[in-house]
């Protein structure tokens, strides 16, 4: 674990801990306010993110940005990262060994950002952070707390592109986030 961003970012530069390093154009480390109160965790980069080296810049990210604007969340005020930092082929779910190789980078990011709330975007984020027994269908929208950090699971924005009906629930979950942030005067 590193106690500063420079060393952490340097340590990942030539990462070859798993097979995803072979197909990547860029490592997609994370973006946003490194002192954010609120952190979002997704699954892994898609084609657009791999090309640009920035999380959530493709269609799913653009949809999330629209929801942010509608609700009053400033993307620059939050920190956004993924479970894996390199693109899985055909955007498949990252495999266990890939997650195992990458998760310490994310843990280190969480320690450095020190967020008050972590939003878990989709099943991969939920299961890899909270445990395999968790279910996004059952637990989305339900806030829990562990070691002084609140966790809010919600749909992954890509799921909204496949199923429009999830948009309302995603919106409700972000509204809940905004209400808590306003109440607690968090940066959002």
Binding site for ligand URA (CB under 6 A): 28, 42-46, 49, 55-56, 58, 60-61, 82, 158
Q: How far is CA 128 from the centre of its chain?
A: 11
Which residues does 142 contact at the CB level (< 8 Å), separation at least 6? 152, 153
* Neighbour tally for 119: CB within 10 Å: 22
Q: Return d(Cα 10, Cα 111) in angstroms, integer.
A: 17
Q: How far is CA 131 from the centre of its chain?
A: 16
Q: How far is the CB of 80 from ligand URA (least distance, A)?
A: 7
Q: How far is the CB of 148 from ligand URA (least distance, A)?
A: 25
Work out the angle at residue 80's Cα, subtended by the Cα atoms of residues 92 and 91, and round it to the nearest 5 degrees: 10
- Closer residue to ligand URA, CB minimum distance, 64 or 148: 64
- Closer residue to ligand URA, CB minimum distance, 58 or 184: 58
Kindly state the DSSP code that residue 19 receives in the 8-state scheme: G
Q: How far is the CB of 159 from ligand URA (least distance, A)?
A: 10
Q: How far is the CB of 162 from ligand URA (least distance, A)?
A: 13
Closest residue to bound ligand URA by CB = 42
Token pair, residue 24, equals 């990547």
- Closer residue to ligand URA, CB minimum distance, 31 or 177: 31
- Closer residue to ligand URA, CB minimum distance, 52 or 169: 52
């Amino acid at each position: 674990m590193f106690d500063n961003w420079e060393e952490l970012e340097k340590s990942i530069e030539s990462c070859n801990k798993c097979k995803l390093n072979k197909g990547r154009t860029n490592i997609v480390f994370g973006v946003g306010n490194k002192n954010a109160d609120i952190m979002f965790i997704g699954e892994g980069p898609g084609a657009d993110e791999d090309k640009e080296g920035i999380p959530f810049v493709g269609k799913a990210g653009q949809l999330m940005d629209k929801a942010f604007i509608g609700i009053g969340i400033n993307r620059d005020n939050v920190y956004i990262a993924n479970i894996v930092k390199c693109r899985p082929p055909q955007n498949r779910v990252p495999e266990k060994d890939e997650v195992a190789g990458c998760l310490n980078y994310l843990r280190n990011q969480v320690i450095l950002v020190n967020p008050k709330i972590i939003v878990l975007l989709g099943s991969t984020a939920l299961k890899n952070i909270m445990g395999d027994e968790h279910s996004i269908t059952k637990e989305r929208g339900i806030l829990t707390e562990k070691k002084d950090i609140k966790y809010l699971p919600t749909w992954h924005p890509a799921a909204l592109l496949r199923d429009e009906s999830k948009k309302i629930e995603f919106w409700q979950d972000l509204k809940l986030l905004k209400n808590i942030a306003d109440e607690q005067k968090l940066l959002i």
